[in-house]
Amino acid sequence: MASPTPESLVALDQLRLDDAKALLGRDTTLALPSSTESAATYLQSVIDGLCELSLKDPLTGLSNRRHFRSVLDRTIDMVARSGEPALLLMVDIDHFKLVNDTHGHPAGDQVLQAVAQTLAKCVRPMDTVARYGGEEFAVVLPNCHTVFGITVAERIRQSIQNMPVALASGQVLNVTVSIGGAYAPEWVRSTAALWTERADVQLYRAKHEGRNRVILDSQQEIFVSAEEKNMLFGHLALGEPAWIESVSGEASANAAGQRVN
């Protein structure tokens, strides 16, 4: 005897879907499912919508940190298998605390939303822009060679610098961002933490060298850390190859230091 199909087990009137529908209804980019559809289609629409919401930052509509980490892991895997270059940018709004302290948190939210919209317009559909946390954003650019990386990063910096933010009070703010970037080591299976740390080191430098600037590492000068060396050669018990160097102590110290707003 054939087992019953999932559709025959579903009774919509017995499911508590009001909260789910309310969540979906708050996002204008998502279409509410029609109750006239079959039970399976209706539930699939609800589930798909909730999954999409779970990957988005509610304030800016960008990818959230969870989705960012997933994209970063997939990109690392792609770089390790194909050697295709990939760039990670960390973007931080300069003096954002001053915006909140002077104009209030609603104004700060407007600035975050404006920066997010501008970021999304500066990259390709294949790229991922995420709100990393607070006033910091991350951009993952697969298949991005060095000649294009600095161009994209400068486009972002200049676009935000030239972007007026009209507040509800009638005031107009201009903000700037500092950008640090790191290329993933080609043909090396790195980790999300190590790649993010490298980009953070460059962001730290951009902040301390005057803000409103871009600093990217050079793809030719990327170092491979001890952890990455172990991933590559640990099971072979090989000595350190001449072409592999460890991350400098200074870079690690800077990454662990307190970031300037």
pLDDT digits (tens, 9 = 90+) for 91-135: 999 999 999 999 999 999 999 999 999 999 999 999 999 999 999
pLDDT higher than 60, residue 251: no
Q: What is the pLDDT of residue 220?
A: 47
Q: What is the pLDDT of residue 250?
A: 43
Q: State percent of the chain over pLDDT 90.
A: 55
| Residue tagged active-site, from 7, 37, 52, 135 | 135
Has residue 167 been placed in a domain? yes
- Check whether residue 34 and residue 134 sit in a common domain: no
- Check whether residue 152 and residue 239 sit in a common domain: yes
Query: Which tokens hold the place of 180?
Result: 């640090």
Q: What is the pLDDT of residue 240?
A: 45
- Check whether residue 30 and residue 133 sit in a common domain: no
Please give the residue range of the domain that contains residue 119: 65-256
pTM of the full predicted structure?
0.74
Are the beta carbons of 89 and 138 closer than 8 angstroms?
yes
Q: What is the pLDDT of residue 244?
A: 39
Classified as helix, coil or strand, 179 is: strand
pLDDT higher than 90, residue 16: no
Give 256 or 35, the one with higher predicted confidence. Answer: 35
- Check whether residue 163 and residue 224 sit in a common domain: yes
Catalytic: 135? Answer: yes
- Check whether residue 132 and residue 193 sit in a common domain: yes
Closest CA to 87 of 193, 216, 211, 209: 216
- Check whether residue 164 and residue 225 sit in a common domain: yes
Separation between Cα atoms, residue 136 and residue 144, nearest integer Å: 21
Q: What is the pLDDT of residue 53?
A: 64
- Check whether residue 50 and residue 71 sit in a common domain: no
Average pLDDT, the chain: 81
Q: What is the pLDDT of residue 213?
A: 98
Give me the CATH number covering residue 185.
3.30.70.270
- Check whether residue 126 and residue 243 sit in a common domain: yes
Has residue 133 been placed in a domain? yes
Query: Which stretch of 28-32, 185-189, 226-230, 252-256 has the lowest confidence by average pLDDT?
Result: 252-256
Count of residues making up the chain: 261
- Check whether residue 201 and residue 158 sit in a common domain: yes
Count Cβ atoms within 10 A of the Cβ of residue 143 and give its class: 0-12 exposed, 13-18 middle, 19 or more buried.
Answer: middle
- Check whether residue 120 and residue 226 sit in a common domain: yes
Cα atoms in the 13 Å half-sphere on the side-chain side of 40: 5
Q: What is the pLDDT of residue 227?
A: 62
**Can you name the residues that pair with 183 across neighbouring β-strands?**
87
- Check whether residue 110 and residue 179 sit in a common domain: yes
Separation between Cα atoms, residue 206 and residue 21, nearest integer Å: 44
Query: Which tokens hold the place of 65?
Result: 């940190």
Give 24 or 219, the one with higher predicted confidence. Answer: 24
Has residue 241 been placed in a domain? yes
Has residue 10 been placed in a domain? no
Has residue 76 been placed in a domain? yes
Q: pLDDT confidence of 22, banded at 50, 70, 90?
A: confident
Separation between Cα atoms, residue 24 and residue 54, nearest integer Å: 11
- Check whether residue 41 and residue 69 sit in a common domain: no
Has residue 261 been placed in a domain? no
pLDDT higher than 80, residue 149: yes
Q: pLDDT confidence of 33, banded at 50, 70, 90?
A: low
Number of structural domains found in the chain: 2
